[in-house]
Each structure stands twice: as C-alpha cells, then as structure tokens.
C-alpha cells in the first residue's frame, strides 16, 4: 500500500497563473483538465467513477477524503474517469469493513495524478469568483518544470466548451441487463456515460435495459423493438453532439417515449430547438435544492453538470422545432437554472440532475416510476 503522506512535491497550476504547492497523491506525473469542485461530503468512489467527470480535475470541498477506502461494489462504471484529483487531507487509515484497497492505491492503479495538502477552500473560492478553468497537476519530476512551461502546457490544452467526449466513455458493443421485476419491454439506452445505478433503477422498473454505443443509428434502435428510449448523463459540450440531437429528433418523430438525465436533458433541449450554455462553475455535489414545479416540493438532489438549457422558467412555450408545447418542470433554487423539461404534446421529459443519486440522496427517485408509467400509458 502506498504511503498516504508522501513527501513528493506537487503543484496545481491554473490557467490564470495561480499556483498551489502541495504533495503528490495517487499517480505521479502530469495531468491537464478543467478544474471543477464537488461539494459532496461522502460518495467519493461514486464521484471518481462517474463518466461525466471525464476530462476534468475534480476538487473535493470536503477536507477529509479516503477514510472508507475503495471496494468492488460501489463503482458507477468500469474505471475511474477523472483526469486528476485534488484533496486537502487524505485519510490516515482506511476504516470500513467493505474496503478492499486505499483510495491512493486505486488512483495509482488507474494512473490518476493527484495532489494533496493544499488549501482546497481557497481554490474553490477562486473558481467560484473566476469560473471553472483549465488547470494542471505536476508531480514527481514534472513538479520541477519551469513555471512558465507548466503554465504553457495548461493554456495550450483545449477548453471544455466545444468538446465531444461521448466516444471516450461509451460502450463499444451493446450490453443487456434484464428486468428484475415484471417486464415492460426493451429500453434503448444511449450510453453517453451511463452510471450503473441508472441501469439498476431502470431494470427495477421492468425494463430489459439495452445499453447501446453512442454511435448507434435509428435503425439500430429500431432493431431491438424498444418501448422507449433513454439518454444518459455524460461529459462534454451538448453543442458538439449534433449527431445525438438528430438521432433524438428521429426518436421524437416516431413518438417513442423518451427520458433523459443530465446530458440527456441538454440534448432533449437542443432537439426541441432550445439553446444550451456553459455555467460559470457548474453544479456538482449531492446537496443541491431543486423545485418540482408540478408538486411544489423541494428536493435535495445530486448534480454533476457544467452546461444548462436556455428556456423560459414560467408557463409553457412552443418548441422551436415543432414538437408542440414544452414547459420547464424543475428549477434549481440556488441560481434558477433549468433542471428539467417536459413536452406536453409528445411523451418526453428529462431532468438535469441525477435521480439515481449514488451515493444519495434519493428524493428524486420517483422519476423512474414516472417514466415507467408514461411508457405503460403510451402502450395502452
């Protein structure tokens, strides 16, 4: 097991020239990505294995990370996806009966370069003021690079805006998870970075879940004779996913019931003819309040998104692409961001946040039931 308190130097460099010197954590070397912060107090294993974090260096705002170790039961996908990891105080010991290895060892195994021992509160406050930005972690020999060279490597890296990362996280061949309760039918899931908890929730509602590659065609979807289509969460800029939008328009044209989560919400927005934009520093964590406008209920929800949909918050409006009336169904209470869409004339809805919510909370889990009921009603 690697030492949690290594003396190897490491430095975090942000694109505006800000530097934070700390200690190496995880693998050593160089990594570049968009620096974002996640506010969850627990569930770091689920965060690390969420494909939506591909291309990003994740900063944990909770100061004490790693105490429960890592296990083979909680991952949300097949690997750790973050480009880098920033923590303040790694746990001295792993103390959980389910732990199989330390977080540090898991980061080393997956080649994830990290840094510890820096003031993560200061970095978070800086990002909240200046916005998410590119950054680099340099450790081992890379920590000794000239400061100007480190900054050049950061500023030469691509921005998150304009990137299509779906191919990097999607399955290459179809995978099937059978229903675990009375069967409704086949569900086509476009894998843009789907989480295991989502698949489990859909199977628990009666769907035979067919996870399909991100480059599947409408004919490939038709081939499984689906009762509905689902678009998953995932990384990247929705404006760079034109093929997925056109595929979704084909789905909507055939009036197949549709449900989208996170990236899927943004792509539904674009399919309906709405715009999307990049948030200053995004929503990431498991403590975000959202209003369900239909019930008036406030839900505490899990988020991981850096882009959002542009739409009127009040009343219904006409879809610019001719799909009838649409309304914003959910609103984020911290900043009034669109957190859900509902089409009124076709069977389609989506939410920007994560109702599967691993590692919690589960206030929004009812949305999977709502989807199953919509599919049943559409078949009646």
Residues catalogued as catalytic: 262, 354, 356
- Where is 76: in which H helix or E strand? none
Q: Which of 288, 252, 216 is nearest to 39 (CA)?
A: 288
Helical ranges in 9-165 per DSSP H: 44-48, 103-109, 120-130, 147-155
**Cβ contact 166:264 at 8 Å:** no
316-349: b (≥16 Cβ within 10 Å) or e: eeebeeebeebbbbbbbeeeebbbbbbbeebbbb
In the structure encoding, which two tokens stand for residue 279, read together? 């948030």
By C-alpha distance, which of 121, 41, 77 is closest to 284?
A: 41
Residue 193 and residue 99: Cα distance in Å, rounded?
25
69 belongs to an annotated ligand binding site: no
Distance of CA 98 to the CA centre of its chain: 25
84 is in an annotated binding site: no
Distance of CA 220 to the CA centre of its chain: 25
The answer on whether 45 is annotated among ligand-binding residues is no
52 is in an annotated binding site: yes
77 is in an annotated binding site: no
- The answer to whether 236 is annotated as binding is yes
209 phi, psi to nearest 5 deg: -90, 110
Cα separation, 34 vs 15, whole angstroms: 10
Provide Rg for the chain, Cα atoms. Answer: 21
| Tokens describing residue 322 | 């001719």
SS3 string, 242-279, reads: HHHHHHHHHHHHCCCCEEEECHHHHHHHHHHCCEEEEE
Q: Which of 357, 356, 54, 371 is CA-nearest to residue 207?
A: 371
What are the start-end ranges of the E strands in the chain?
9-14, 19-26, 30-38, 56-60, 64-65, 84-86, 89-90, 113-116, 133-139, 175-177, 185-190, 207-212, 226-231, 258-261, 275-292, 297-310, 316-318, 325-332, 338-343, 348-351
Residues annotated within the binding site are 52, 234, 236, 263, 266, 304, 306-307
Residues annotated within the binding site for L-glutamine are 52, 234, 236, 263, 266, 304, 306-307
């Amino acid at each position: 097991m690697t030492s949690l308190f290594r003396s190897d130097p490491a430095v975090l460099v942000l694109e505006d020239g800000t530097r934070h010197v700390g200690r190496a954590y995880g693998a050593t070397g160089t990594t570049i990505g968009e620096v974002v912060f996640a506010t969850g107090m627990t569930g770091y294993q689920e965060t690390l294995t969420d494909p939506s974090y591909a291309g990003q260096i994740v900063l944990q705002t909770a100061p004490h990370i790693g105490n429960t170790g890592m296990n083979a039961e909680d991952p949300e996908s097949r690997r750790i996806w973050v480009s880098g990891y920033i923590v303040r105080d790694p746990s001295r010991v792993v103390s959980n009966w389910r732990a199989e290895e330390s977080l540090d060892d898991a980061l080393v195994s997956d080649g994830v370069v990290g840094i510890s021992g820096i003031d993560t509160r200061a970095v978070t406050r800086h990002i909240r003021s200046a916005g998410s930005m590119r950054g680099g972690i340099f450790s081992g020999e890379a920590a000794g690079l000239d400061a100007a060279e480190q900054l050049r490597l950061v500023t030469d890296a691509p921005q998150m805006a304009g990137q299509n990362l779906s191919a990097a996280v999607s399955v290459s061949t179809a995978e099937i998870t059978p229903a675990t309760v009375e069967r409704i039918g086949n569900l086509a899931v476009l894998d843009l970075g789907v989480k295991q908890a989502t698949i489990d929730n859909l199977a628990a509602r009666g769907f035979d879940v067919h996870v399909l590659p991100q480059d599947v065609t409408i004919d490939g979807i038709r081939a499984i004779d689906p009762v509905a289509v689902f678009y998953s969460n995932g990384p990247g800029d929705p404006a760079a996913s034109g093929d997925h939008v056109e595929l979704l328009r084909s789905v909507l044209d055939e009036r197949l019931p549709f449900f989208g989560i996170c990236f899927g919400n943004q792509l539904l927005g674009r399919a309906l003819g709405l715009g999307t934009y990049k948030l200053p520093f995004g929503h990431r964590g498991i403590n975000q309040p959202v209003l369900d406008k239909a019930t008036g209920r406030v839900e505490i929800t899990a988020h991981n998104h850096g882009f959002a949909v542009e739409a009127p918050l009040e009343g219904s409006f006409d879809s610019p692409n001719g799909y009838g009336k649409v309304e914003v169904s959910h609103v984020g209470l911290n900043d009034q961001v669109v957190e859900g869409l509902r089409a009124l004339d076709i069977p389609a809805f989506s939410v920007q946040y994560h109702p599967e919510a691993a590692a919690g909370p589960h206030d929004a889990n009812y949305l999977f039931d709502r989807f199953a009921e919509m599919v049943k009603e559409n078949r009646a």
